[in-house]
Structure 1
Amino acid sequence: MDQPAPPPPATATIPPAVARAAVHWLLTLDDDSAPPSERTRQQWQRWLQADPLHAQAWQRIATLDAQWQQQLLHGLPASVARQALTASGHGRRHALRLALLLTAGTGGLLAWQQSGLGQPHWQRLAADLATATGEQRSRELADGTRLWLNTATAVNLHYSATERLIVLRAGEILVHSAPDNTPDATTGQPRPLRVRTAEGLVRAIGTRFTVRQHAQHTSVAVLEGAVELRPAQAPQDALRLEAGEQATLGRSQAGPATPLAEGAGAWHDGMLVVNDMPLPDFLAELSRYRSGLLRCAPDAAGLRVSGAYPLADTDRVLNALTRALPVQLQARTRWWVTVERRS
C-alpha cells in the first residue's frame, strides 16, 4: 500500500474540518471494543493520502498521549472536562471525543504551529527552555546548576535576589545543583534551589536528582545527596529523600520513599534501562521518544522486557524486541505501530 503524501511544512495551519476528521479516525481505529474492519482501514488510508494536510493532521493527533489530552481539556466547559476525565470505557471515549471535537472546532487542538514538540505550541512559546519529542538538551544556569531536559519537556526559570526556582511545565529534568554564590540580600542566607511542579515543590540539598511530571503526580528520584518534597496542599508534611531513594509527590501527600528503580536517570546517557518490565509499560516509556502512536496488542500484554536500549533509534529498539520476544510489528503508517504476539 502506498505511503501517505509527505506532510506540508510544520507551520501549516490545519483547518477545523480536517482536525475533526482526524479525531474521528483516531477514535474509530482505536476502539478496542469494535476493531476496525479491513474496509475501514482502507477508507482511512484513502483519506490519509488524499491531501498532505490530512497526513499532517494525523501526525499531530497521533502524537497526543494521555497527559496532553488532559491538558487540552483545560479551558473547556467544566461539565465536559469533568465527564471526560472521570468517565470510563465507552463513556470516557464519548466524552473525550466531544471534548476533542470542541477543541478542534475552535482551533485549539490541531491548529497550533507545531515544530516537533509533543505539546501545544503555546506551551513551548511560554517556556524558557523546551525540547521536542525525542530531543534532549542541557543548560548551565546562572548559579552554576546544570539542568538536563529529557524528551518533550518544558521549563520556566525564575531567578531573583531571593529565589532560584525551576518550574517544570511538562516532561522530565535532571538537576545537578550548585551552591548559591549570591545569598539573599535581605537575610544573607543562601537562596534555596527548588523545582515546582503541578503537585508541589522539590528542594535540592546539595544533590543530583530527576523530576518527572506525570498526568496526575510527580515522580522524584535522588541520585546523589538529598531532596525535600513538599505537597502543594500540605507543605508542612515534608518528606526527605536520600541518595538511592525515589518517591511520588501528590498535591496532598508525598511518599513513601522506596529504593531507586534500576536505570533511573539512564536517559541522561541516552539509554532506557529496564528489568522485567511489562511490555505495555515498556512501550509507553519508549513512545515518549518517538512521534506517533505506539501500542501494545492485548495478546502481548503479558510479556516482560529486560535490557538496555538506545533512545536515539526507537525503530532499532522495536526491531530488537522482535528478536528477543515472540512479537511482531504491525505498522499502519510510520506514525501508528502496534506490537503484537507473533503468530
Structure 2
Amino acid sequence: MSRISPKIPPAVLDAAIGWSLKITFNTPDAQARQAFERWLAADELHRSAWQRIQSLHGQFAALPAQAARATLNKLPDTRLQRRQLLKFAMLATAVGATGWTAERQAPWQRLIADYSTRTGEHRRWTLPDGSVLDLNTDSAASLALEEVHQLTLLRGELALATARGNPQSWRVETPDCEVAATDARFEARLMAHGTCVTVAQGLVMVTAKAAGAPFPVAAGEQWLVGKAGARPLPAPGAEHGAWRDGMLIARSLPLSQVLAELGRYRVGYLGWEATLANAPVSGNFSTVNPEQSVALIARAYGWRVRQVSRYWLRVSAA
C-alpha cells in the first residue's frame, strides 16, 4: 500500500474535517471564512489535509473520526486513481442512506482495510510469509508486517493458519483482545458482546484488553473475550469452520440460530415466526445461496417462506 510522507497529525485532520463541515455543508459568515483562511495559511499540513478532504467532496463528514484519519493518511498526495474514486463514490452512496442497508453494503472499515469481503463473500489470501488468511462474509482486516506480524480484525470474522515450521510470531488484534500465535490455526469473530476465539490447531495466547494476564487457549477450545473479561464456551463441533467451504452445518440447532447465521450472508431482513424460534433444525446448508437454503429448510419442515421483496424474507408456520 502507498504511504504518505509526512503523515498528517490526527489533530490537523480533525480540524480539516471540522472546517469541511462548516464551509462545505453550511453557509459560513464572513468571520468564519476569515478564520478558515487564517487556519489554512498557517501551516502546509493544513493545506494538505484540506486538499485531501476536498478530493473526496466532503464525504468524510459522515465517517467516524478515527476511520477518516486512517483513510486520509493512506491516500497518495497525487490525484486519486479511478479505483479509489469508485471506492469513495460507494462510500458517498452509503453515508447518504439510512438504516442497515448502508452499514451492510459499504461499511467504512473496508476503506482502511488491506483485505475485505462483501456480504455473502468468502475470500482466501496467502500472506507474504506463507500463512493463509480467510475472511468470512462482510469482514475486513488490516496487515502490518513488522517484528511481530499483526492482523487487525476491523469487522466480521477471520481464520488464520500460520505458516508451518515458520518461527515468525503472529498477533491478531480485535477491539476486545490480542491473540498471539506461532504454528497454529485459529479463528476470531467479532460478536455483539466480545470476540470469539476458536483454536483448531496448536496453542495461542489470548490477552483480554479489559484486564488480566495472557492465558493459553489450546486446540479444541473456544473462548469469548469481552469487556467483562474472558469465559470459556462449549467446545466447537467438527462442523465448526464449515464457512470456509461455503457451508453451514447444523445439528439440532434452533431455527433462530440457523437463520441468524444464514442472514449474515445476504443483504436484507431474514426473520422467523416467534413460535418457531426454538424448533430444532439439522442439515448441511449453502451459504453461497442463503435464499435457497431458507427455502430448503421450509420445505423440509413444512413451513412457509413469506417474501415481500428480494430483501425481505420471513419463515412462518404453514
TM-score range, shorter-chain basis? 0.5 to 0.7
- CA gap 1:323/1:129 in 2 versus in 1, 3 angstroms: same
Output the CA distance in 2 between the equivalents of 1:117 and 1:132: 11
Superposition map of 1:286-325 within 5 A: 286-325=262-301
| Distance in structure 2 (CA, Å) of the matches to 1:338 and 1:194 | 40
For 2:133, the equivalent position in structure 1 comes to: 147
Match of residue 224, structure 2, among 248, 257, 267: 248
The question of whether the paired residues in 1 share the 8 Å contact of 2:63 and 2:108 is answered with no
Structure 1: 5+ residue stretches without partners? 1-71, 76-106, 182-189
Which deviations, in whole Å up to 9, do the C-alpha atoms of 1:159-202 show, x marking residues without a partner? 12x22000001111111012686xxxxxxxx5520110110111
- Matched residue type, 1:157: L
> Structure 2 residue aligned with 1:266, among 227, 231, 242?
242
What residue in structure 2 maps to residue 133 of structure 1? 119
Q: Secondary structure at the match of 2:259?
A: helix
Where does structure 2 lack aligned partners over 5 or more consecutive residues?
1-61, 66-93
Corresponding residue number in structure 1 for 2:259:
283
Residues 93-117 of structure 1 deviation map (CA, whole Å, 9 limit, x = unaligned): xxxxxxxxxxxxxx846279x9x98
TM-score, length-scaled by structure 2: 0.66
Does structure 1 retain, via aligned residues, the 8 Å contact 2:176–2:195? yes
| 2:156 corresponds to 1:171 | yes
Whole-angstrom CA distance in 2 between matches of 1:228 and 1:258: 19
Secondary structure of the residue that 1:256 maps to in structure 2?
strand
Please give the secondary structure, in 1, of the residue aligned with 2:230. coil
The correspondence for 1:205, drawn from 151, 157, 182, is: 182
Q: Percent identity?
A: 34
SS at match of 2:297: helix
Aligned-partner Cα distance in 2 for 1:327–1:261: 27
Question: Helix, strand or coil for the counterpart of 2:261?
Answer: helix
CA contact (8 A) 1:143 1:179 kept: no
Cα deviation for residue 306 of structure 1 reads 1.1
- In structure 2, relative to structure 1, the CA distance for the partners of 1:119 and 1:252 (3 Å cut) is farther
CA shift for structure 1 position 257? 5.4
CA contact 2:156–2:190 (8 Å) conserved in 1: yes
Query: Using the alignment, how far apart are the partners of 1:235 and 1:120 within structure 2?
Result: 35
Give the C-alpha shift of residue 253 in structure 1.
2.0
Match of 1:232 in 2: 209
Residue pair 2:110, 2:140 contacting (<8 A) in 1 also: yes
2:97 maps to amino acid: L
Structure 2 residue matching 1:259: 3-state secondary structure: coil
Q: Residues of 1 paired with 2:159 and 2:206: CA distance?
A: 16
Return the match for 1:110 from 80, 83, 97.
Answer: 97
Q: How does 1:11-22 map onto structure 2 within 5 Å?
A: none
Counterpart CA distance in 2 for 1:158 and 1:235 is: 25
Aligned length: 229
Counterpart residue identity of residue 226, structure 1: L
Question: What whole-Å deviation, never above 9, does each CA across 1:282-314 have from its counterpart, x for those lacking one?
Answer: 111000111111011112213111111111111
> Counterpart amino acid of 1:205?
T
Cα distance in structure 2, aligned partners of 1:118 and 1:251: 25
- Contact 1:117 1:133 (8 Å CA) reproduced: no
Q: Give yes or no for contact 1:239–1:255 (8 Å, CA) kept in 2.
A: no
Deviation of the 1:256 alpha carbon: 2.1
Name the CA distance, whole Å, in 2 between partners of 1:180 and 1:154: 27
Q: Is the 8 A contact 2:165 2:183 kept in 1?
A: no
Per-residue deviation at 1:74? Answer: 6.7
Amino acid at match of 2:156: G
Q: Is the 2:179–2:204 Cα contact (8 Å) retained in structure 1?
A: yes
**1:194 correspondence with 2:171:** yes
Pick closer, same or farther for the CA change 1:215–1:109 going to 2, 3 Å: farther
Larger radius of gyration: 2
Report the CA distance between 1:213 and its aligned residue: 0.9
Rounded to whole Å, the distance in 1 between the matches of 2:126 and 2:159 is 12
